Amino acid sequence: MNTKFISTSALVLGLTLSPMAAFPVLAQTSMEMTQSSPNAAKAPYDIQFLDTMVEHHRDGIKMFKMGAEKAQSQELRDKAQKMVDDQEKEIPELKAMREKIKPNAPEAINMKMPGMMVMDMDKLESVSGKDFDHQFLNMTIKHHQGAVDMSRDALKHAKSQQVKNQAQMIIDMQAKEIADMQRMHDAVK
């Protein structure tokens, strides 16, 4: 029997019966959560913090870009775009700091660090108008609070003063943005 024919037939049959089963990547939802890097929890704390904060920022940027495009309020669209710009600027700074501390260290994203959470982007994709603004602000406030929580943990556990300084800067910036967004949230009602 021709095994090439059987394999091809099985693929075609699989696609016909269940296209999502044949290609599980297509079935992923926007709630997909980043996995921790192998052995992340065993990496030096400073590397864990920096790598995980980069991942936290990447997740936030996805959400903020949606806000910049979809928010009803111009003030909120502008705020979302500023958050995209700020965090896109900060990611290379975090990576450069990481290379100074421990060059070429294996990636150490630790999804168990304080402040890491699943962001359900489906909630944002399914609403519009004031409902979008309200949901976006709720999610962004929680996301920013996560960065504050992770940074407070870094103030306690980081060894590098540069990392502690960065953590304090994140706390200060995100706390201010939380206050701004809380004011905006109260105005949306």
Question: What is the full per-residue pLDDT of the chain (189 aa) written as tens digits?
Answer: 444 444 433 333 333 333 333 322 222 234 445 789 999 999 999 999 999 999 999 999 999 999 999 999 999 999 999 999 999 999 999 999 999 999 999 999 999 999 998 888 888 899 999 999 999 999 999 999 999 999 999 999 999 999 999 999 999 999 999 999 999 999 886
Q: Which residues contact 8 (CB under 8 A, 6 or more apart)?
A: none
The values of phi and psi at residue 111, to 5°, are -70, -5
Q: Which residue has the tokens 């929580």?
A: 149
Whether 149 and 115 have beta carbons less than 8 Å apart is answered as yes
The full set of domain ranges for the chain reads: 1-29, 31-188
31-188: CATH topology is: Ferritin (1.20.1260)
pTM of the model: 0.81
